[in-house]
Amino acid sequence: MRTLVHAPAAGLSHHPPAGHPEHAGRLEAVLRAVTAAGLTARTEFSPAGRAALERVHVPGLINQVFAASPDEGETALDADTWMSPGSLEAALTAAGAGMAGVDAVMAGEAEAVFVAARPPGHHAEPGRAMGFCLFNTVAIAAAHALSHHGLARVAVIDIDVHHGNGTQAWAEQEPACLFASIHQGWIYPGTGAAHETGRHGNIINTPMPAGTAGPAWRRAVEHSILTRLDAFEPDMVLVSAGFDAHRDDPLAGLSLDDEDYAWAGGALAAAARRHANSRLVCVLEGGYDCAALERSAKAFLSALQTA
């Protein structure tokens, strides 16, 4: 697939307190992977505007995040979720880069766009910032595809090791979006049980036990997610591309390796080609061992390009 990378420079200026696992070095690792995969990132994007944010988030949450933005030092939105002076711009520009990714695949400039941004987004609910996430980048991009581009159906596939509770909370109100998450069960944020299917039946949750390795994870993706994706026939596939299901990741306990991310990139690209006119937008979420993150992101990006 012809692949572009959107890596807003502002993503390097979001600084939770020292020792926080979600630090700028993660993005630097992903940018090394981008270079190693032979790609060059676009780095300048317009920040998402208020109307784009309000497709996903309630005004009160948007006001809260803007008000919490510090002039110096750091402020906490909860025990995990922090803002430094550069965080608001980083989060708004991440969302802008995600929407620009949607625009690029709709315009035929690329088949796949990988959005290398931070902070991550998939834990941010319509009314609550949490889990390192301020605004829900992938949901804002999906809503942009539906509202601005008029697509009938989009799918968001979440392969981060943590359940994408924020994206699910939005998709539960948006039956034009199929949301499917595979994650380690019974860890943060505590949601994502298989019985959570949403009142419109457009939610798929596939929790995996600790220690699950690549072969079982791949089978679950094929049987639980790709089969449903095929039946849904989306016009665009978006991916919450977290790399923290890797065996080396310190925050969780699944046991994927680099090659599993190559497989995932290839499988998701193939699904986008089958149903979505090769429209694929992937958004970076977690991944907290920088060496594993760099290798996994390179494997994923290389697989997109050769798919």
User: Smallest distance, Å, CB 285 to Zn ion?
Assistant: 6
State which residue has the least CB distance to Zn ion.
286
- Tell me which of 57, 123, 144, 246 is the catalytic residue: 123
Our answer to whether residue 123 is catalytic in this structure is yes
Nearer CB in complex with Zn ion: 234/242: 242
User: Smallest distance, Å, CB 188 to Zn ion?
Assistant: 8
User: Smallest distance, Å, CB 245 to Zn ion?
Assistant: 8
User: Smallest distance, Å, CB 244 to Zn ion?
Assistant: 4
Residues near Zn ion (CB under 5 A) are 160, 162, 242, 244, 286
What are φ and ψ of residue 282, in 5° steps? -110, 135
Nearer CB in complex with Zn ion: 165/302: 165
What is d(CA 265, CA 237) in angstroms, rounded to the nearest whole number? 12
Nearer CB in complex with Zn ion: 111/244: 244
What are φ and ψ of residue 83, in 5° steps? -130, 135
Q: Per DSSP, what are the bridge partners of residue 281?
A: 113, 238
Nearer CB in complex with Zn ion: 80/160: 160
List active site positions. 123
